Amino acid sequence: HLLVYTSSTLVEQTTPVAVPLVDTDSSVSAVEFPDFDLDAVELGGTIVWTEPAESSQVTSYEVYFASGIVDLDGGISYCANDSAQIFELDASDAFANDSDFDCVSTHRCTSFVSCRGELFGSAEVGFDNITVPANTDLANYTHFLIYSKSSFVEQTTPTVHAIFDMEASVSNVQFDGKDLDLHDLGGVVSWTPPADVSRVHVYVADLALNEFGAGKSQIGADVPAGTDSTFVKAETPRYGYTHFVVYTKSLLVEQTTPTALSIQDAAARAYNVSFTDTDLDLGEISGTVDWQEPDDLSDVTHYVVYMAEDHTGANRSLLGNVTVGVNDFFVPVDTPLEFFTHLVVYARSSLVEQTTPASVAVIDTNALITEITFVDKDLDLGEYGGTVSWLPPTTGIAQVVDYRVFLAQDAVGTGRVQVGNNVPKGTNQAVILDSTAAASFSHVCIYTRSTVAELTTPVAFELSDVVAQVSDMVFTDLDLDRTDLGGTLLWNEPVDQSQVTHYVVYLATACNATDVVEEVTVISGTLSFMLDGATTDQIAVAVTASLSRSFGVPASAILVTVNLARRLLDNSGGVFDADERRLSTSWLVQYEMTVAAEDSAAIISTATSNSDAFVASLSAILVEELVNAGVSASAVSSLTVTGLGLADNVISVNATADGADDSGNETESSSRRLETRAIVNGQMYTLANVSDADADSAGIVAVITGSFSFEQEGATVQQVTAAAKDALAEILAISARSIGITAEQARRLSQARGAAQLMEAVWVPSQGRRLSTSWTVTYRVVVQGTLGSGVLAETSGIASNTTNFASALATALVAQGVSSADVSSSFSVLSFSQATLQYMYLSPVDAVNSTANASFVFSIPFCERQYVANVTVGSAQLVIPTDFAFLPRTHFLIFARSSFSEQSTPLGLAIFDAVASVSNLQFTDIDFDLQEIGGDVTWNAPAQAERVQDYLIYLALSPTGSGKSQVGNPVPEGTNAYILPGDSPFDPYTHLLVYTRSSLVEQTTPIAFELEDKVAMVSNISFDDLDLDLGDLGGTVSWDPPA
């Protein structure tokens, strides 16, 4: 209670008035202060408390700093300002259990000394907090003291709150720099977070001028607590900054003292960049860029290579990249240089490519040859040959390794085909081989080549095909003996002789299409007849067909030459009266039939065993064929063949079966194919240079030439030839007669080991030997000019899809007798080449007189050439000496020759061996004296007497002419009799000989007649003179006649 006593001057009363005391505690409770200033010895945040339940007398709350509170039980007492206050607290006191007061965890706090410091602030009653500004200096204070204050007094026992100074600085700041440029930064700044991050809201990273954050510049955005790194953008300028600084930041404030890292800025740039352009085209580069790597490769992952317009990389264009450790890069071939002047190399890290490259200036190499020259010295049409030469490049020669020479369809190298091997630098010429097909090639293109690339754009030279073909070869055989020639071989020189050095004359043998070795017989002969109203073509076609039917020889194996002559026809029974004679046409046809040697005897026997019957049969057949050829039936009604002559010559073409060497491999063919002219239905055509638009001109034919190959076991040449013709005719929808075929095998013969096997390995043509698997067929189609492009298109269709043709060919092979089982098991079309189209025009060949041969180039192969002579250009004749033996050859060939090569397509002339011997030689001796002869000599003129100038009569010691002695003067041709004068000596002669003689020479093989001395002497002559006068006789002389 509170007692109030009154008191007088005398005394205090004894009975007071009492008021009960009520002791009210108006202290705050539940004080909290979370420090959001994260620097050491700095505070920031809000002090919060719970007001007392009885606050009616409270006017404000006073907040003080305090320090030096220690546990008295520990015997420590310290106050810096000696203003100690002692508080008695028990364990239940909130202060004693304050988790921020670290004595709680060790022992029961009982009594403390407080050293109150300065007043921090005041809050009116009704407010339960006070703000502590950020960066408030904690000094050496450890607690806040909060006093309740009334209007009367401030309480003496405060509520104590221990200050927890939150220090939250990062540690171990690191920078993983990936920007490889000097003075540029880029990468990741990282750190270790504070041990207590409860008050950390974000981190702030800055670039600063020192470790304390002076002149700082923030890197990116604030980093949320829980993330311990921040990204520095590539190519961030370093300027003058020396440190990275990292601050923690609470919800209240960013700390003022950062954790710092000194910046270590280093560059990683390649150096000593070099490049040599090995792309030889102007405006294109290629080659290897190489460089030396930086000393520090720790952050380099790649090098990136660009083309750029300057050394700094302006307007750069990416070429590619390589990984670190590789210090070169290959610039691809034909890379366009455009406007670029430099190659630049950038180092790249996992973060970014550097901005400052290493560079090298590009020197564009341009290595073009100059002054190409080429003169075609292959003298064949459609073929090139000769030496291409050039001058080496004037620039870029150091990068040139070699040259490549091509034939191409244009100046930029379309459809190019290389000529030979690469030509080493230092050699400035290349050889286009003899007989290189011109095909569609119009230019020779030359490319320089470096170690890495060939020139893209060649230097080109337009080709000109030099053609030097002799023409109009003529040879009249004036040696009238069988198997002997004599006379002058004549021809016309080429129009263009510029590259011709001389002409080479050969004898050659017509051989089969595959050049397979074979013994063949060439049966040659003549026939003649009188016929008006026919053309040479009709005669050629009809005679060929007639001979084929009569001899049983394929028409393709027969070659005829037609000559005509106008002769006087006697209508007067032998008395030539000018009014009764008229001109008639006499035809002389020379023919050659090539047959297997073993068949020749039977063929000749057929014709000679009953010559009259055979001639009659041939005449009848010829009449039919002439009518079939379009000759009027009335014109041929009385036709009779006369002067039929035959001769056979066995020709051994070679000695090894199938052209195989000892290993069994095929040897190279030695045949020559003659392609520049053709005989079509009896008309001669020569190559023409015309366009499709001119193809419908009169006399123009189209010649389509191509080839295909296929596999087929068990077929003969004859079967393949016939089947190929039939299949092409079916697919191309043309007549088989328009198609020429050459079939060749392409595999080797099996080796024979024993005698029996050897016999089996020899090819007997009539037995149709089975050939091996692979076949190559060359075809030649001749049609009207207007049809040429259409047929060519059809062949192109076959080339693109052989299905239908393959089916037709397989069917045709079976039809020709090839086993269907063999076709099923082994037939396969391998290829069908693109065909070529040429046009030919009808050659103006007129009738040839009886002493001339028409020469032309025709498409058959020749084997076994025999050199005859060289003739210098400017001369167009060669004298063939008399008694010139030509067998077993069948043709003359003339090749023009240049300084480079001999042409491969000669002019050919079938040899006609003029044989002009008399026949039916008769002589009757009518000089009856012993050892004396005399009388009429008669003979029949030769069947071909056109070349006979006269006849020479000899007496000789043998039928071959030994010891011969000419009798009288030569007898002119046309006279077939001679009177041997009486008293001509008989002894020692045994034979009478008649030689024919041409304008060149007398034949060496005469026709002989064995002499018989007719002796007819009477005997027993008697005479009785019955005239009795002297000097006169008269009477009968009598004798016995000769025995």
pLDDT score for 1042 = 84
Q: Which long-range contacts (CB under 8 A, 24 or more apart) does 313-321 make?
A: 313/342, 313/344, 313/346, 313/355, 313/357, 313/359, 315/339, 316/344, 319/343, 321/348
Q: Which long-range contacts (CB under 8 A, 24 or more apart) does 630-633 make?
A: 630/538, 631/531, 631/533, 631/534, 631/538, 631/542, 632/533
551's tokens: 């001899």
561 vs 541: CA distance, rounded Å: 11
852 compared with 309, residue with greater pLDDT: 309
Checking if the pLDDT of 130 tops 90, the result is yes
How does pLDDT run across 435-464, given as a tens digit for each residue? Answer: 888 888 999 999 999 988 888 889 999 999
273's tokens: 């960049």
State the number of CA atoms in the 13 A half-sphere of 776 facing the CB: 9
Checking if the pLDDT of 194 tops 80, the result is yes
239 compared with 612, residue with greater pLDDT: 239
Given a contact cutoff of 8 angstroms between Cβ atoms, the answer to whether 977 and 992 are in contact is no
How does pLDDT run across 525-576, given as a tens digit for each residue? Answer: 777 788 888 887 888 889 899 988 888 888 877 877 776 554 444 444 444 3
Lowest mean pLDDT across 218-227, 728-737, 759-768, 953-962: 759-768
* Helix, strand, coil content of the chain in percent (nearest 5): 10, 40, 45
420 vs 185: CA distance, rounded Å: 61
- 965-991 in b/e burial notation, b at 16+ Cβ within 10 A? eebeebbebeebebebeeebebeebbb
Checking if the pLDDT of 106 tops 70, the result is no
Please choose, from the candidates 292, 252, 249, 247, the residue with its C-alpha nearest in 3D space to the C-alpha of residue 269: 292
694 band by pLDDT with thresholds 50, 70 and 90: low
Lowest mean pLDDT across 132-141, 496-505, 743-752, 1012-1021: 743-752
Mean pLDDT of 879-893: 86
pLDDT score for 442 = 93
Mean pLDDT of 996-1023: 88
Task: Enter the DSSP assignment of 768.
Answer: -
922's tokens: 């008769």
Lowest mean pLDDT across 427-431, 814-818, 927-931: 927-931
**Coil, strand or helix: which one is 824?**
helix
How does pLDDT run across 211-265, given as a tens digit for each residue? Answer: 999 999 999 999 999 999 999 988 888 888 999 999 999 888 888 889 999 988 7
Please choose, from the candidates 780, 546, 790, the residue with its C-alpha nearest in 3D space to the C-alpha of residue 680: 780
CA distances from 970 to 952, 994, 1006 (A): 5, 10, 14
766 band by pLDDT with thresholds 50, 70 and 90: very low
The per-residue pLDDT of the chain, averaged, comes to: 80
Work out the angle between the directed axes of helices 597-608 and 536-551 (0-180°, nearest 10): 100
Work out the angle between the directed axes of helices 597-608 and 611-628 (0-180°, nearest 10): 100
pLDDT score for 205 = 95
Checking if the pLDDT of 510 tops 90, the result is no
pLDDT score for 609 = 62
407 band by pLDDT with thresholds 50, 70 and 90: very high
858 vs 682: CA distance, rounded Å: 12
412's tokens: 């930029």
Checking if the pLDDT of 406 tops 90, the result is yes
